[in-house]
Amino acid sequence: MGNRVTARPCRIAGCPELAERVGRCPAHAAELDRHQRRTTPTKVTRTSAEQRRRARVVAQHRRVHGDWCPGFEVEAHQSSDLTADHVVSVADAGHGRGPLAVLCRSCNSRKNARSQHSTDDVDNDLDEVTS
């Protein structure tokens, strides 16, 4: 008893199929995937055009500076693991066409972690100023 998973109906109203995952039948689950692919901004950065653009920015940086990371909250340092990322993160700006900055992979992830938190800080600061 209790081991058998009871099949539940698809959560889309009027759909006669049984749910397979995310509470939806296979067809409706696939539809949800397509919808998320369209609406998630970070997916923009996965297009090959965007990847080529980033590779170009990194190559250009290398020609000028060599294997050198400008550093984010750390001193500039040597690194061959360079990546190009958006100055304004795609999550904030909502599109993937903004200017790119070159950082090493670890500085880049530090910057991303920071920009996710900083949105809250900015809001708090504004509250203090206006009240």
19 binds Zn ion (CB under 5 A): no
How many residues bind Zn ion, per CB under 5 A?
A: 9
One DSSP character per residue, 87-128 reads SS-HHHHSSS-S-EEEEEHHHHHHHHHHHHHHHHHHHHHHHH
The stretch near Zn ion (CB under 5 A) out of 8-16, 50-58, 89-97, 119-127 is 8-16
100 binds Zn ion (CB under 5 A): no
61 binds Zn ion (CB under 5 A): no
Kindly tell me the burial class for residue 87, based on how many C-beta atoms sit within 10 Å of its own C-beta (0-12, 13-18, 19 or more). exposed
69 binds Zn ion (CB under 5 A): yes
* Strand, helix or coil for residue 29: helix
58 binds Zn ion (CB under 5 A): no
Residue closer to Zn ion (CB basis): 28 or 61: 28
Radius of gyration of the CA atoms of the chain, in A: 22
User: CA–CA separation, 70 vs 112, rounded Å?
Assistant: 15
The stretch near Zn ion (CB under 5 A) out of 47-55, 63-71, 84-92, 122-130 is 63-71
Q: Which residues bind Zn ion (CB under 5 A)?
A: 10, 12, 15, 17, 25, 28, 69, 104, 107
